[in-house]
Amino acid sequence: MDFELKTLSLPRICAEKCDALIVLVPDGMAAGSDAISKLAALAIASGDFETKPGKLLGAYRSQGIAATRLLLVGAGDASVKSVKAAVSTAMAALKGSPARRVLIGLSALPQLKPETVRCAVLACDHACYSYDATKSKPAGQKLARVMIAVPALATSRAGFEEGVGLARGVALAREWANRPANHATPTLLGLAAKELGKLPNIKVEVLGPKEVDKLGMGSFAAVARGSEEPLRFIVLHYSGAPRTQAPVVLIGKGITFDTGGISIKPAAEMDEMKFDMGGAASVLGSFRALASLQPAINVVGLIPACENMPDGRAIKPGDVVTSMSGQTIEILNTDAEGRLVLCDALTYAERFKPRAVVDIATLTGACVIALGAVRSGLFSSDDALAQALSAAGDSSLDLCWRMPLDDEYAEGLKTNFADVANVAGRAGGSITAAKFLQRFAGKFPWAHLDIAGTAWKGGPAKGATGRPVPLLVEFLLGQVLPAGPVARKRTVKKA
């Protein structure tokens, strides 16, 4: 989607030619003499329209309005959340319409903040996304251009640009997560990462089975054994700050299909396990956003990518493997494979002497039971890091909820046959998974996001959500250190 920011007052919006005009109408909108204000006031007085977030009133070739179609949409208290609901509903109402050029008018919103503009751009792009990578006839997106009208550029520009960069990242994450496993193999994920490597300040290395063996990643390699598809270990670098600045490391679970392995999953809804690389997709999406936004930080992305398949060579319950950290692991359930690939990536992260490591994984069904589809599970041994991630989730409307990590939860991971088992009992399943990971994250501040409930939607609207890219990008932007006297000059073009 092509976005443009324009300064337009309500009277000017009335005179702007476009295929569809969406005007956000907040509670108690100031009376005006322009056609939109009059129409809104009249419709509210007659009971045909309400300013509750998402309430709609449509008109065609309205008098005094140059746009062909007009949609008034309630924006309630004009909070970021209400604006998100308003833009989402209005854009959904335009689905299938022949409109190509759309104007979204935010000029009636009181004290418009950059976050509101950012959120409007993101919500609009989200509503326009259509998956067609594996369709013979693409849905054919008619919408080509969206103009966002604001009362003043100065206060909206930064939010607008953040919104556009973030939207690109979210769309990339959704696209890769949505692709079926035969169109999103570890090899193809590696190539997608390589593409990102062409963007400014991004470098990408992709390691294969030989290199992974050489690194001693015996746990990751064990999961990949059952598949004909060769594993990939993807390393992305975003360098926006001097090399001396310690990076933040993002680790994304990249199981491109999770059958469960020998501990095989039931058939019902197994197709949804193509989304088991949602963590990896969110790392790719975050890097796409970094390329656009060019913040002054360093970020490393790590993606252990493979399939989890049953096979003559596959790992069996009871097998013991040696992780890169040297710790031995008894694999009691081959379906608890996410933690087995993540633990080696966590050990690999040590070499970057990171200021923080955040892993993102569709890790446990138990997390879906605990938190549903509203909030991702947040686990961290570091209060400041947990606080920063939690706040980033709140302000980007990509919520998470902190879960406990008491040592008592690790009791069930004890075994007579290795240093640690890969599963404990059913109770507290998302926490015992996090306790397993924590054993490999002792050398840096660490947080884990369990996105099993939030990375995709099931049912008729089945599809990837792009979460938690907004949370991650918000968190990363907050990691930019205040500019000192030797602030680096940035001459790189944005992507």
> H or E segment at 490?
none
Q: How far is the CB of 472 from ligand BES (least distance, A)?
A: 19
Q: Which residue has the tokens 């997560």?
A: 177
Q: Shortest Cβ distance from residue 334 to Mn ion (Å)?
A: 8
Work out whether the CA dihedral 106, 463, 475, 387 comes out positive or negative. Answer: positive
SS (H, E, C) 316-351: CCCEEEECCCCCEEEECCCCCCHHHHHHHHHHHHHH
* Cβ at position 308, least distance to Mn ion in Å: 6
Q: Does 344 bind ligand BES (CB under 6 A)?
A: no
- Reported as type and span, the H/E element at residue 303 is strand 298-308
The one catalytic residue in 52, 145, 194, 265 is 265
The question of whether 339 is a catalytic residue gets the answer: yes
- Closer residue to Zn ion in complex, CB, 275/352: 275
Active site residue 243: no
Q: Applying CB under 5 A, does 258 fall inside the site for Mn ion?
A: yes
Query: ∠ CA 212-214-217 to the nearest 5 degrees?
Result: 50
- Rounded to a whole number of angstroms, the minimum distance from the CB of residue 235 to Mn ion is 24
Distance CA 390, CA 66 (A): 44
Q: Which of 362, 390, 438, 454 binds ligand BES (CB under 6 A)?
A: 362
The residue among 41, 11, 13, 5 whose CA lies nearest residue 25 is 41
**Shortest Cβ 453–ligand BES spacing (Å):** 7
In the complex with Mn ion, which residue's Cβ is closer, 319 or 337? 337
Query: What 3-state DSSP class applies to 4?
Result: strand
Site for ligand BES in 263-302 (CB under 6 A): 276
Q: Interaction with Mn ion in 326-355: which residues (CB under 5 A)? A: 335, 337
254, 263, 363, 398 from 378: Cα distances, Å = 19, 27, 12, 12
Minimum CB distance to ligand BES smaller for 325 or for 362: 362
Q: Is 338 in the site for Zn ion (CB under 5 A)?
A: yes
Segment interacting with Zn ion, rule: CB under 5 A, options 115-123, 253-261, 429-437, 476-484: 253-261
Does 116 participate in binding ligand BES (rule CB under 6 A)? no
Asked if residue 368 binds ligand BES (CB under 6 A), the reply is: yes
Of 284, 283, 278, nearest in space to 258 by CA: 278
Tokens (6 digits) for 26: 């907040």
336 near ligand BES (CB under 6 A): yes
Query: Of 258, 307, 330, 450, which one interacts with Zn ion (CB under 5 A)?
Result: 258
Place of tokens 């993540």: 342
- Paired tokens of 427: 């109770």
Catalytic option among 69, 118, 274, 339? 339
Residue 364 interacting with ligand BES (CB under 6 A):
yes
Footprint (CB under 6 A) of ligand BES, residues 374-433: 423, 429
Q: How far is the CB of 261 from ligand BES (least distance, A)?
A: 9
User: In the complex with Mn ion, which residue's Cβ is closer, 253 or 288?
Assistant: 253
β-pairing, 356-361 with 248-252? parallel
3 state SS for 137-202 = CCCCCCCCEEEEEECCCCCCHHHHHHHHHHHHHHHHHHHHHHCCHHHCCHHHHHHHHHHHCCCCCE
Regarding 360 and contact with ligand BES (CB under 6 A), the answer is no
Footprint on this chain of Zn ion (rule: CB under 5 A): 255, 258, 276, 338
Residues in touch with ligand BES (CB under 6 A): 258, 276, 333, 335-338, 362-366, 368, 423, 429, 452
**Active-site residue set:** 265, 339
